[in-house]
């Protein structure tokens, strides 16, 4: 099954109107979603406006059977309070409309939710994965806080009923003296997150852009030093992996969401994906340890 992803430039506007800020976003692509249910063979990964790039087997595909669906080309608008202060919860309102400005009413669930919202700070230090509640008439809301001052990008991932999954990019600003906006790139492959030690292993010594790579998260209990035995499914899968390419201004082309492969050894979570372009990428693996979500983040360098 072949299909072409057409990436259009994202138009983002930040309008301050009275007591609210609004950010509009539109694009017409399906997200870079990797599924392990099948390896969709579509050629190239079209960030560059339509050229296909070689015949490398590329597993970027939609969620399983969705690859025949058409994009909805919906537009998301974010409304937040005028002033967002670090660590104070605020309500985020996301309205989904069609190109004509008509409200979209019906959405399909995927990964057990109607919308997945990934929020990252511009320096990629903070990561938040939340699920806005559908209020009807195209409106999703969620309460959250932001850890520090500075710019944030929100990747709102949803599926208009009967259409392909899509990602809309939204941006917002958190007030206060913003610290370091440059990403701290740490290429360590062993890190400890609470009582979990995560080791990242790659199927090859260097990751090449456009080539499939197998990412293995080896998870050990820090007390027993044994592979985790208390892993449970998270949002219907053994784990989820969000990958973002370091960028001064994110687009949906920088976003990859990979799903864990099935039938892997205890304490190991495997992902298969490919990175579209050379650069530094940060990834956040999320796993469910007996009801508690662990987020394990790593940087990788793609040649």
CB of 135 to Cu ion, least distance (A): 18
Nearer to Cu ion, 60 or 116 (CB): 116
Binding mask 102-121 for Cu ion (x = CB under 5 A): --------------x-----
Length of the chain: 303
Residue nearest to Cu ion (CB): 116
Nearer to Cu ion, 116 or 238 (CB): 116
Nearer to Cu ion, 42 or 63 (CB): 63
Q: Which is nearer to Cu ion, 90 or 235 (CB)?
A: 235
Q: Residue 117 Cβ, how far from Cu ion at the closest point, in Å?
A: 7
159 forms part of the interface with Cu ion (CB under 5 A): no
Say whether residue 63 binds Cu ion (CB under 5 A). Answer: no
Q: How far is the CB of 103 from Cu ion (least distance, A)?
A: 23
CB of 168 to Cu ion, least distance (A): 15
Which lies closer to Cu ion via its Cβ, residue 93 or residue 142? 142
Q: Which of 43, 56, 60, 41 is nearest to 256 (CA)?
A: 60
Task: Identify which of residues 97 and 131 has a Cβ nearer to Cu ion in the complex.
Answer: 131
Least distance to Cu ion, CB of residue 235, Å: 6
Total binding residues toward Cu ion, as defined by CB under 5 A: 1
- Taking the complex as a whole, the smallest distance from the CB of residue 115 to Cu ion amounts, in Å, to 8
* 259 lines the binding site for Cu ion (CB under 5 A): no
**Contact footprint for Cu ion (CB under 5 A):** 116
């Amino acid at each position: 099954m072949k299909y072409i992803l057409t990436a259009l430039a994202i138009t983002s506007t930040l309008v301050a109107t009275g007591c609210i800020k609004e950010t509009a976003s539109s694009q017409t692509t399906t997200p870079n979603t990797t599924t392990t249910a099948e390896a969709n063979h579509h050629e190239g990964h079209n960030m560059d406006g339509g050229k296909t790039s070689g015949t490398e087997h590329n597993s970027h595909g939609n969620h399983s059977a969705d690859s025949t669906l058409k994009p909805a080309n919906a537009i998301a608008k974010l409304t937040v309070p005028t002033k967002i202060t670090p660590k104070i919860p605020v309500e985020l309102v996301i309205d989904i409309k069609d190109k004509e400005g008509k409200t979209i009413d019906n959405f399909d669930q995927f990964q057990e939710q109607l919308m997945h919202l990934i929020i990252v700070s511009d320096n990629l230090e903070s990561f938040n994965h939340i699920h806005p509640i559908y209020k009807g008439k195209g409106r999703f809301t969620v309460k959250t806080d932001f850890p520090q001052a500075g710019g944030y990008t929100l990747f709102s991932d949803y599926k208009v009923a009967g259409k392909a999954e899509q990602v809309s990019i939204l941006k917002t600003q958190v007030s206060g003296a913003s610290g370091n906006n440059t990403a701290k790139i740490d290429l360590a492959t062993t890190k400890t997150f609470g009582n979990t030690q995560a080791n990242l292993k790659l199927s090859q010594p260097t990751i090449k852009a456009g080539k499939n790579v197998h990412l293995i998260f080896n998870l050990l209990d820090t007390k027993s030093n044994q592979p985790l035995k208390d892993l449970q499914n998270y949002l219907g899968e053994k784990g989820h992996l969000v990958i973002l390419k370091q960028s001064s201004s994110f687009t949906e082309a920088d976003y990859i969401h990979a799903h864990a492969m099935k039938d892997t050894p205890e304490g190991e979570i495997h992902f298969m994906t490919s990175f579209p372009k050379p650069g530094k990428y940060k990834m956040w693996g999320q796993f469910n340890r007996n009801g508690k979500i662990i987020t394990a983040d790593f940087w990788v360098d793609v040649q």
